């Protein structure tokens, strides 16, 4: 049987079964290999648990190897989160709700409405980041998996990532008429941000397989991208010049002076540009420069009380315990917006070098 005819086989319900993306079910695993069948018969998933475990256990197969599925079902989110980092400059986050169609639609409606309330809150980014940190702190393997992608400042990584609000993926086994009605009634929310994905199970000649429609890579995600010069905003910065671009002359002078004075003190000091900051390190990271147009938020690896003893003319901001854990030690932030009293900042950094 040729491929075209195979892809147009009909189920007993008379609907075409697209086999172009079929995946063989082997126990609790999915395998990508040709499906050799004649008349596939649709099977129901036995339980919510079976459906959920099949998706979670095979997330790399369904969403791609450059994706991480994060279990946030026991949090305020009540769903999974999907981090998609296929494109180097356009990492994305999605909410993922997994539920069988036999479950009450209005329970689903309440969960998605709760997600919209989070997305529409005034402090949405901070709230989502805090919830994410709670999840990640309790999951060491997840933190280890995220570190190479997000860098040392996971909180800042997700904050930037959330400039574009996440889409919501609904994974289910059947089309839901209620979803069509809700999407039409609430087009500004459900219509823009919710994308359904159908995962169906079939059997033929003793083999089980499933189909996914549409494939994750084929879904249209264009509703909430922020456009900038030349198209989509790019967040990646790889050099000091990138970080200092579009900043005031004062801020440029502040950074240049700090760097020059510290290198004069110790030539082995490294200033290492990352995507979201510039780290200052010797044998370990000592400080992190978060540079904006009119100020530098300088995270120093020094207890807040000791920092305030040294810094009298600049604002010192408290970092939450969770954020300090991600910096891997006691830390706080010094706000620098002028060249005044730079000596006290440089003196503190010199002390950190010698510790």
Are 164 and 274 members of one domain?
A: no
Examine the pLDDT at 47 and tell me if it is beyond 70: yes
Are 92 and 134 members of one domain?
A: yes
For helices 105-119 and 124-137, angle between their N-to-C axes, nearest 10 degrees: 110
CB-based contact 326:133 (threshold 8 Å) = yes
Rg over alpha carbons for the chain, rounded to the nearest Å, is 25
First to last CA, the chain: 73
Measured over the CA atoms of residue 91, residue 97, residue 99 and residue 101, the dihedral's sign is negative
Are 305 and 207 members of one domain?
A: no
> What is the predicted pLDDT for the residue at 37?
59
Residue-wise pLDDT tens digits, 241-266:
888 988 899 999 999 999 999 999 99
> What is the predicted pLDDT for the residue at 347?
95
User: 327 is in which domain, residue-wise?
Assistant: 240-354
Which of the 8 DSSP states describes residue 33?
A: -
Examine the pLDDT at 234 and tell me if it is beyond 50: no
Distance between CA atoms of residues 207 and 40, nearest Å: 10
Backbone angles phi, psi at 268, to 5 degrees: -85, -5
Examine the pLDDT at 218 and tell me if it is beyond 90: no
> What is the predicted pLDDT for the residue at 9?
38
Are 205 and 264 members of one domain?
A: no
Q: Which residues contact 78 (CB under 8 A, 6 or more apart)?
A: 72, 111, 114
Distance between CA atoms of residues 39 and 137, nearest Å: 49
Distance between CA atoms of residues 23 and 216, nearest Å: 14
The CATH code of the domain that includes 292 is 3.90.1150.20
Q: What is the mean pLDDT of residues 181-201?
A: 85
The confidence band for 50, taking pLDDT boundaries of 50, 70 and 90, is: very high
Residue 150 C-beta-side C-alpha neighbours within 13 Å: 28
Of the three residues 198, 232, 266, the one that is the final residue of a domain is 232
Query: Cβ-count burial of 201 within 10 angstroms (0-12 exposed, 13-18 middle, 19+ buried)?
Result: buried
Q: How many domains does the chain have?
A: 2
Are 15 and 45 members of one domain?
A: yes
Are 161 and 251 members of one domain?
A: no
For helices 140-150 and 124-137, angle between their N-to-C axes, nearest 10 degrees: 130
> What is the predicted pLDDT for the residue at 225?
44
Partnered with residue 95 across adjacent β-strands are 81, 168
Are 123 and 216 members of one domain?
A: yes
The confidence band for 16, taking pLDDT boundaries of 50, 70 and 90, is: low
The confidence band for 203, taking pLDDT boundaries of 50, 70 and 90, is: confident
Are 192 and 303 members of one domain?
A: no
Least-confidence region, from 32-36, 43-47, 102-106:
32-36
**Nearest CA-CA partner of 109 in 171, 173, 190, 224:** 190
What does the angle CA 308 – CA 311 – CA 312 come to, to the nearest 5 degrees? 95
Query: Cβ-count burial of 20 within 10 angstroms (0-12 exposed, 13-18 middle, 19+ buried)?
Result: exposed
Q: How far is CA 145 from CA 67, 224, 238, 329, in A?
A: 11, 27, 22, 20
Residue-wise pLDDT tens digits, 129-151:
989 998 998 888 988 888 888 87
Are 149 and 13 members of one domain?
A: yes
Are 179 and 280 members of one domain?
A: no
Of the three residues 189, 215, 232, the one that is the final residue of a domain is 232
Are 324 and 207 members of one domain?
A: no
Distance between CA atoms of residues 301 and 334, nearest Å: 11
**Nearest CA-CA partner of 282 in 272, 268, 301, 302:** 268
Of the three residues 206, 232, 258, the one that is the final residue of a domain is 232
Q: Work out whether strand 270-273 and strand 278-281 pair parallel, antiparallel, or are unpaired.
A: antiparallel
CB-based contact 257:270 (threshold 8 Å) = no
Are 348 and 210 members of one domain?
A: no
Is the pTM above the cut of 0.85? no
């Amino acid at each position: 049987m040729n491929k075209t005819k195979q892809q147009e086989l009909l189920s007993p319900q008379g609907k075409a079964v697209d086999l172009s993306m079929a995946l063989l079910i082997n126990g609790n695993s999915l395998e990508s290999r040709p499906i050799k069948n004649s008349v596939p018969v649709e099977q129901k998933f036995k339980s919510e648990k079976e459906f959920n475990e099949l998706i979670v256990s095979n997330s790399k197969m369904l969403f791609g190897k450059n994706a991480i599925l994060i279990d946030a079902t026991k949090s305020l989110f009540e769903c999974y989160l999907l981090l998609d980092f296929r494109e180097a400059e356009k990492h994305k986050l999605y909410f993922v709700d997994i539920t069988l169609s036999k479950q009450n639609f209005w329970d689903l409606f309440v969960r998605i409405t709760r997600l919209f309330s989070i997305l529409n809150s005034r402090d949405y980014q901070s709230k989502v980041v805090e919830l994410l940190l709670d999840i990640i702190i309790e999951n060491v393997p997840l933190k280890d998996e995220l570190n190479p992608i997000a860098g040392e400042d996971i909180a800042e990584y997700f904050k930037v990532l959330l400039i574009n609000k996440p889409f919501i993926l609904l994974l289910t086994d059947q089309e839901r008429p209620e979803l069509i009605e809700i999407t039409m009634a609430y087009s500004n929310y459900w219509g823009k941000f919710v994308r359904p994905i159908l995962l169906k199970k079939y059997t033929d000649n003793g083999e089980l397989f499933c189909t996914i429609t549409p494939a994750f890579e084929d879904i249209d995600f264009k509703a909430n991208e922020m456009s900038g010069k030349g198209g989509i905003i790019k967040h990646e910065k790889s050099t000091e010049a990138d970080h200092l671009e579009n900043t005031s002359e004062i801020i440029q002078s502040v950074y240049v002076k700090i760097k020059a004075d510290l290198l004069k003190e110790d030539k082995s000091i490294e200033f290492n540009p990352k995507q979201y900051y510039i780290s200052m390190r010797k044998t370990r990271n000592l400080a992190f420069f978060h540079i904006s147009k009119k100020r530098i938020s300088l995270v120093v690896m020094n207890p807040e009380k000791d920092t305030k003893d040294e810094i009298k003319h600049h604002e010192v901001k408290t970092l939450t315990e969770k954020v300090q854990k991600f910096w891997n030690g006691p830390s706080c932030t010094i706000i620098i917006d002028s060249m005044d009293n730079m000596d006290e900042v440089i003196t503190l950094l010199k002390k950190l070098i010698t510790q």
